[in-house]
Structure 1
């Protein structure tokens, strides 16, 4: 099957499964298959119940409900992606931006080699240094930072070895849910303070940043949605 048709089929599936399990599907789903990644970005994703909770300042509850639903859905989504794209998936990440009503999935193939980048871009080394500064403000400098411009509007950033000892201890004591919510808030706020520097290096306006972690493998994926500057 041609890549465009695969991406269209994956888009329809993601919209359908989100609608079936969350009570409302996204407005638009953008899928990119670019070895070794499958990226999914969706918009206008917020149910009436969630909107009511947000108006009551219960954003954390919305995140907890979504995360628990994804605990049961992730394996199903991964299985479908593997069958359609014919890859074995190593990591699967997800995140939401409740304010902009957007969300993302990032799947990483098992053949992923972080030392090899087929999706490089100008100022990439300087961009990695900026990511290291932001990471240090949140926890520590990652053991490894890599980035991949999978299309002109979609940038994937992978960080490895980012957890500090206290975070590992929290995870060991079953606190991964609260840690994920706290890290989302902290890192997005820190990325926001460095947007001018990031946009200058990327030569693009950053429309959205979504972040997730695989605590078991001590890795993270961030998805940047870009608007290139002509």
Structure 2
């Protein structure tokens, strides 16, 4: 059942994105689970971005959105804190341009008072971790820690800690964080998207897949949006 907090956050996210991007998402699905907030955006692509996407200018779209989100994140973080009454520790985001979708994920410093139940045990969890480890080691290294949770029937969230290799840390130190982020989106996210095992592991269709990194914390969040299973 949707709470007032979820409706409030859904309305706010839709409005603030429309004000800054010129077009907001058609719908925003907000999930509150333990110390996690996810905002799943559907049909979010401006007319100009549609033209760029048709010309395969994906990097241009991502760079522009990153610039806008840098300005937006402090405002979004402040609003999430006011709406939930809990300190916001980290915020991640990613886009599924091919699906005109997106995700905003916030991690809180303590459990949310309005949160629903989440499942730490779910079908395919161990195999999911093994598959993500296989991909991680091809583009960086095996995570030092990995946690995953099923927030609801459609949302599975994976948190990886300790994934950066020495060369990546040096790029970050030299000020090339944005270039590294774009490269990892192209490479690592592409490998996650092209992995044919996730659907058989989870026993359902993967509708959307998102990934983002916090280089300062050496941390990454992956979100699977799946078809609900009975």
Give yes or no for TM over 0.5: yes
2:163 corresponding residue in structure 1: 162
2:48 corresponding residue in structure 1: 49
1:19 aligns with 2:18: yes
* Residues 151-205 of structure 1: per-residue CA shift (max 9 Å, x gap): 010011100001111111111111111111111111122113323x211221111
1:226 corresponding residue in structure 2: 226
Structure-1-length-normalised TM-score: 0.93
2:137 corresponding residue in structure 1: 136
2:114 corresponding residue in structure 1: none
Shift of 1:126: 2.1
Counting only pairs closer than 5 Å after superposition, residues 205-220 of structure 1 correspond to structure 2 as 205-220=205-220
Query: How many residues matched?
Result: 224
Partner secondary structure for residue 135 of structure 1:
helix
Q: Distance in 1 between matches of 2:44 and 2:194?
A: 25
The question of whether the paired residues in 1 share the 8 Å contact of 2:153 and 2:229 is answered with no
The question of whether the paired residues in 2 share the 8 Å contact of 1:138 and 1:190 is answered with no
Partner secondary structure for residue 146 of structure 1:
strand
* Residues 118-152 of structure 1: per-residue CA shift (max 9 Å, x gap): 53212312221111111111211011111110001
Shift of 1:206: 0.5
Structure-2-length-normalised TM-score: 0.93
1:175 corresponding residue in structure 2: 176
Task: Give every structure 1 segment of 4 or more consecutive aligned residues whose post-TM-superposition deviation is greater than 6 Å.
Answer: none
**Higher mean C-alpha displacement, 47-56 vs 12-21:** 47-56
1:84 corresponding residue in structure 2: 83
Unaligned runs of 5+ in 2: 112-117
Q: Distance in 1 between matches of 2:215 and 2:79?
A: 23
* Residues 2-33 of structure 1: per-residue CA shift (max 9 Å, x gap): 96111011000000000000010001110001
RMSD across aligned positions (CA): 1.6
Shift of 1:228: 3.2
Partner secondary structure for residue 182 of structure 1:
helix
Unaligned runs of 5+ in 1: none
1:202 corresponding residue in structure 2: 202
Q: Distance in 2 between matches of 1:78 and 1:152?
A: 26
Cα 1:22–1:183 shift into 2, 3 Å:
same
2:120 corresponding residue in structure 1: 119
1:97 corresponding residue in structure 2: 96
Q: Distance in 1 between matches of 2:100 and 2:182?
A: 17
Q: Distance in 1 between matches of 2:224 and 2:119?
A: 17
